[in-house]
Amino acid sequence: MFDTDLFDTDLFDSDGAIYMGSQRDPAGCRVGLFGVPYDGTTSFRPGTRFGPAAIREVSSGLESYCPQLDRDLEELAIADLGAVEIPFGAPEPVVAAVKSATEAVLALGLKPLMLGGEHSISSGAVAAVAARHPDLVLVQLDAHADLRQEWLGAHHSHACAMRRCLEVLPSQQLLQIAIRSGTREEFSELRQSGRLVAIEQMAEALKPLRGKPLYLTVDLDWFDPAVMAGTGTPEPGGFLWRDFAALVEELRHHNLVAADVVELAPMLDATGVSSVLAAKVVRSLLFLLDR
């Protein structure tokens, strides 16, 4: 049980759309969803600051029922807490604000689901969750390795997302699934570390982790640009919904304690399909977290 009177509502802006099937009041809920509208370190095409709102706005176009998981959002208790109040400018204060917001969600006894925004924000959430779960395992879906020490002078660039996450991950357990883009140095590290997992070995690599707390970070550019045009750094050779569904099937057997969905830039896809795909990813994660 938790005391909602202790919840700092000043951390969140609750104006705007709400994700389908959720409520603003966290009382009685099991999952806490929140957005972080930030794209201050975007290195190619900006616009991910509009991602969280777009996901919420199109979510009502989906069915609330998921046939794969045989569950309905109407059965869930989800709090959509709104957008984290973040400062403009450098990423470091934003990451700190994300950490504080995630800690607040965890203090309510909720499992956090963060909507980005760019990938640089993930280290703040991972740090907060890892403090509760020192044996936390981080699973990354992404086109890019994101293992740079810095990019364009920024240590908290979205190109450094996993490097910063590793710095706050006590277990040092990171699975990077089907990464297809990065520097020679990044791929050398991926191969030597054993963290790189081919799509064909995804389920096999995850099975030994059943029972351990997992954090799943989903950079939407993991999907192929044919189905995810609305992202700032598209990379050909990506994946389709059936590949994500295969991951969901394995994650049914896991202890997913937190997740994020990042890098949707909705204005780059005039069809709106990218936003719908992102909202459907969120729907699946809500079901997996609500267990």
112-to-32, 99, 143, 145, 237 alpha-carbon distances in Å: 5, 11, 23, 24, 30
Helix or strand run (H / E) with residue 12: strand 12-13
Residue 268 has what DSSP assignment? G
155 marked as part of a ligand binding site = no
Contacts from 180-184 at CB under 8 Å and sequence distance 24+? 180/143, 180/235, 180/237, 180/238, 181/143, 181/144, 181/145, 181/235, 182/144, 182/145, 182/146, 182/147, 183/145, 183/148
119 is in an annotated binding site: yes
Distance CA 78, CA 69 (A): 17
- Decide: 220 and 278 in contact? Cβ < 8 Å: yes
Q: Is 219 annotated as a binding residue?
A: yes
Cα gap 277→88, rounded to integer Å: 28
Residue position matching structure tokens 């509009």: 50
Token representation of residue 286: 């809500």
Tell me which residue of 261, 283, 242, 289 sits closest to 74, measured CA to CA: 283
Are the C-beta atoms of residues 84 and 98 closer than 8 Å to each other?
yes
142 is in an annotated binding site: yes
Cα separation, 201 vs 143, whole angstroms: 17
Three-point CA angle 55, 40, 159, nearest 5°: 90
CA distance 82 to 90: 22
Is 158 annotated in a binding site? The answer is: no
Question: Residues forming the annotated binding site for Mn(2+)?
Answer: 119, 142, 144, 146, 219, 221
Question: Residues forming the annotated binding site?
Answer: 119, 142, 144, 146, 219, 221
